[in-house]
Amino acid sequence: MLPLHSSVLSVLFAVLLATATPAPASRDLLGDVINALQVGWVTHIDVAITVGTLANDLVSIVLDVQNPLILELTVDSISVSAGVDDAVVTSFAHTFATPLVIPPLGTATSENIADVLLIDGITAFLDIVPLGVLDLLNIDVNVRVGSILGIGGIPLPITGLHQTGVATT
């Protein structure tokens, strides 16, 4: 059991070391690796449209996310640009009132993220609803790796993540 534990720690140390080395500001090596591995972090997006949306183009969003690691992840904040075919439909930044704790190899559902603006309005958004998917064109997330019940952990900003075809209702 010790060699496996040691190997996992070695890999995590290597990832942390790689992200700590100087690199151009526009790149995030960890984000690039996650994208290359096609690790889908967001598994589902639930968009709530209300009567008020018709007047103000604001929706509420709930995200289902997964953790592919054997360590707990705690998400403190997230910034997302979402759309279809490289056209941005919405963009938002959110700091979680209560950090989102994702158990090892598990899933979690975010709190309601309110007042998300539909950039081209509700009418344009309704045209893409039948697709049932959104592309996450850019995700920047501040996580803490190895937290215990959401406490502590190693802060790790991950930038430049993207996913295509995320199920959306």
Task: Quote the pLDDT of residue 36.
Answer: 79
Higher pLDDT: 27 or 77? It is: 77
The upper half-sphere exposure of residue 158, i.e. CA atoms within 13 Å in the direction of its Cβ, equals 23
The DSSP line for 37-57 is: TT---EEEEEEE--TTHHHH-
Task: Quote the pLDDT of residue 11.
Answer: 47
* Cβ-contact 138, 162 below 8 angstroms: yes
- CATH topology for 28-167? Immunoglobulin-like (2.60.40)
Helix axes 29-36, 2-20, angle to 10 degrees: 120
Task: Quote the pLDDT of residue 8.
Answer: 47
* Integer Cα distance of 13 and 67 in angstroms: 18
What is the average pLDDT across 94-110?
A: 97
